[in-house]
Amino acid sequence: MSDPAVEITLPDIRRGDKWGGIQAIGPVTVAIGDGPALTPDIPLRRIRMQFRMDGHLLRTGDSDVTEDRDFPIVIDDDDNWEAHIPGVDFPFIKKAGTVDWDMEFYQGTEQAPLTFYYGSFSVTQDHTRPVPP
């Protein structure tokens, strides 16, 4: 089976700024072999998104309210695998550099995720705040 993950470039942000989130995720579809791309037949249970810089975890978003998370992910339609991430109004990333991220999807009672989206974006240094030590 080939890797179904799709690389997505998120917009760059400035260090210390709030993040606008993602207005629409999905519907997620997967193609098996030469067949058409279809939404998985098992309902979506959870989405987790992690942001890392130089291998260090910076932020975690999760649709599961019982998990330790920095921001919520909202599943809008579990059958069609649709969701969104509301914007955050706190300083999202406090260090300039390249941020790598991925988004994991959990279906039904399965414990292992399916990583369908990943990518990177730049956090640019702002011009008026000093660089942290």
In a domain? residue 43:
yes
In a domain? residue 44:
yes
**pTM for this predicted structure:** 0.89
In a domain? residue 52:
yes
pLDDT digits (tens, 9 = 90+) for 98-131: 999 999 999 999 999 999 999 999 999 887 766 6
CA 12/CA 126 separation, integer angstroms: 12
Residues 120 and 13 sit within 8 Å (Cβ to Cβ): no
In a domain? residue 2:
no
Does residue 52 have a pLDDT over 70?
yes
Residue 47, strand partner residues:
105
Q: Work out the angle at residue 27's Cα, subtended by the Cα atoms of residues 1 and 40, and round it to the nearest 5 degrees.
A: 45
Give the number of domains in the chain.
1
In a domain? residue 129:
no
In a domain? residue 111:
no
In a domain? residue 55:
yes
Strands 13-14 and 114-124 turn out to be parallel
Say what the pLDDT of residue 1 is.
47
In a domain? residue 76:
yes
Contacts of 131 (CB under 8 A, 6+ apart): 96, 125
Domain that holds residue 57: 20-97
